[in-house]
Amino acid sequence: MRVAVIVFPGSNADVDLYNAVEDVMGVPVDYVWHSATDLSGYDVILLPGGFSYGDYLRCGAVARFSPVMEQVVKAAEEGKLVMGICNGFQILTEVGLLPGALLRNRSLKFACKLSGLRVDNNNTPFTRDYAAGEEIQIPIAHGEGNYYCDEETLAKLRAGNQIVFRYSGENPNGSIDDIAGICNERGNVLGMMPHPERAVHKWMTSDDGRRMFTSILKTWREQNSVTTHA
């Protein structure tokens, strides 16, 4: 198994994501620059948070035209696992792999704190190690995390069980239906605003994000008939 962490000009959570993969999954991981034109050697593609291209025009709007994004779309279509976190989520909506858009926080202020989430769908490759309805604590750090979609799209997300995470308690950005993370219909593409890579060790205040990475690893092993020995 090999993991790619895509790096855009302005990415700032790529190191955290790289370290989380190394620490939790223990598999080969590479930084892949946004100009790359081949991701065929990777099984999992991760898009980190940050301010790609300075968030000019609109968050993720410029990054979606990077050469690597054509390969990210191809990987998703092939059924490979793709996860976008924070700015990565914004990029996935801009490129059309996930529906909706991320708007300015309702408060118009940057939000950075530990946030309560509820796992509404634990039947995805990214959440299988959680319990349905489980309450977890994952940090957020964003100014444009207000997820929005029209009523028709929201109805489809609900009907397809594509709402993976909802904010529990306080909604920190005003997102519709308290949405914190969604997946595509196939379930192999996930976008979320909170940062699970910043919650993989107890010294990080919470280690509730750790099971997202163990879930990915377990899914890949099952799909590829890889067994482990104690």
Q: Is residue 105 part of a domain?
A: yes
Of all residues in the chain, what percent carry a pLDDT higher than 70? 98
Instruction: Give strand pairing partners of 136.
Output: 117
Q: Residue 166's pLDDT is what?
A: 98
State the Cα–Cα distance between residues 94 and 181, nearest whole angstrom: 15
At 48, which CATH number?
Answer: 3.40.50.880
Instruction: Give strand pairing partners of 85.
Output: 192
List pLDDT tens digits, range 203-230. 999 999 999 999 999 999 999 987 664 4
List pLDDT tens digits, range 26-51. 999 999 999 999 999 999 999 999 99
At 59, the pLDDT band (50, 70, 90 cuts) reads confident
Q: Is residue 116 part of a domain?
A: yes
Closest alpha carbon to 111 in 92, 84, 138:
138
Q: Is residue 101 part of a domain?
A: yes
Q: Is residue 228 part of a domain?
A: no
Range of the domain at 70: 3-223
Q: Is residue 219 part of a domain?
A: yes
Beta strands in 8-130 (DSSP E): 29-33, 44-47, 81-85, 101-103, 111-119
Q: Is residue 125 part of a domain?
A: yes
Tokens 């709007």 belong to 61
Q: State the Rg of the chain over Cα.
A: 16
Residue 153: CA count within 13 A, CB half-sphere: 15
State the Cα–Cα distance between residues 157 and 153, nearest whole angstrom: 6
Q: Residue 230's pLDDT is what?
A: 41
* Catalytic residue set: 86, 195, 197
18 pLDDT higher than 60: yes
Neighbours of 110 (CB within 10 A): 12
For the chain, the domain total comes to 1
Q: Is 76 left (phi over 0), alpha (psi -120 to 50) or beta?
A: alpha
Closest alpha carbon to 5 in 85, 79, 97:
85
Give the pTM.
0.95
Q: Is residue 197 part of a domain?
A: yes
Neighbours of 162 (CB within 10 A): 23
Q: Is residue 104 part of a domain?
A: yes
